[in-house]
Amino acid sequence: MQKIEQLRAICKSVLENISLRSLTTFKIGGTARFVAYPQDFTELTNLLDYLKRENMPYFILGAGSNVLACDEDYEGIIICTRKLNEIKKISPCRIKVGAGAMMSNIVRFCTELGLTGLEWAVNIPGTIGGAVVMNAGAFGGQISNVVESVTVFSELGTEVLGRAKLFFDYRHSVFTNSKDCVIMEVVLKLKKGSIDTINATITKNILARASTQNVGYASAGSVFRHSTGVVPAKLIEDCGLKGERVGDAMVSPVHSGYIVNLGHATAGQVLALIDKIREKVYTTYKKNLECEIVYLKGESNAEYQDDR
């Protein structure tokens, strides 16, 4: 039996030879040999069991909004969670969300219920799974403020991790560097609020983001991680690097924390520009910039990774 037939016996929706450009917001990358779209948690867990037995590399991908994909072909399998997107109310202030649910859809769901706590996430272009992995945040809010528990699949099987086991920190969680757990579902605990107030806050956040982060080209959002005393965008701008280019990869003139794809950028060009930025910032200010985006490596060094 061919590999594709074996995979489809476990997960009905498996595609072959899919461009990584079509799966990421950066619109960069080679070709993925296989892309699987599990329809439910049974397909997901059975697929993960199979891949581990076969020692086949895989990459868990949500919306692909924080990923730089390699220029080379990826010979493993991309597991896309986008169809694991159910959102349901489980108590007056609690909802249960599939890992592939888009943050914008979750915000809309909460708004209709008059639940507050996620207004900051209205324009986050990712999934709840990716948001939990990196403890996404904006406008003073972050996902860790509302996460009650996370259901994961690991070598131990399916288990529910409470907040105490998630070890949230700034743009970090227990999952950030973990190769052992795949997020399946998340329970969020919010608060009752006024729908009018919630909508007003959402509108304010949309306008604020449009004025500062509408970069006009494909990107993966903020490239570098904020830390104590380090605001990457300011350091990059102060170094005179706005508009700096390597090929079609450019530091955004609108938001210097972003690298944009002018149309035909390669991963190699983005990485070269990242190196140039880090070197200039360190030489000028003795500050090390740490990358926030995830790099999906190619065939020669493929390994388990997760969409951050």
**Contact of 66 with 308, CB cutoff 8 Å:** yes
Given the residues 222, 256, 278, 308, the one annotated as active site = 222
Q: To 5 degrees, how large is the angle CA 77–CA 78–CA 81? A: 135
171 in active site: yes
**Does 112 qualify as catalytic in the annotation?**
no
Based on its alpha-carbon atoms, the radius of gyration of the chain, rounded to whole angstroms, reads: 19
Phi, psi dihedrals of residue 206, rounded to the nearest 5°: -60, -45
- Alpha-carbon distance 143 to 188, whole Å? 9
The whole-angstrom separation of Cα 216 and Cα 75 is 32
CA 193 to chain centroid, in Å, comes to 28
Of the residues 33, 82, 171, 278, which is catalytic? 171
86 is catalytic: no
Alpha carbons 58 and 173: distance in angstroms, whole number: 21
What residue has token string 């109310």? 89
Cβ-contact 257, 224 below 8 angstroms: yes
Cβ burial of 71 (10 Å; 0-12, 13-18, 19+) is middle
Place of tokens 């030879």: 17
- Tell me the catalytic residues: 171, 222, 292
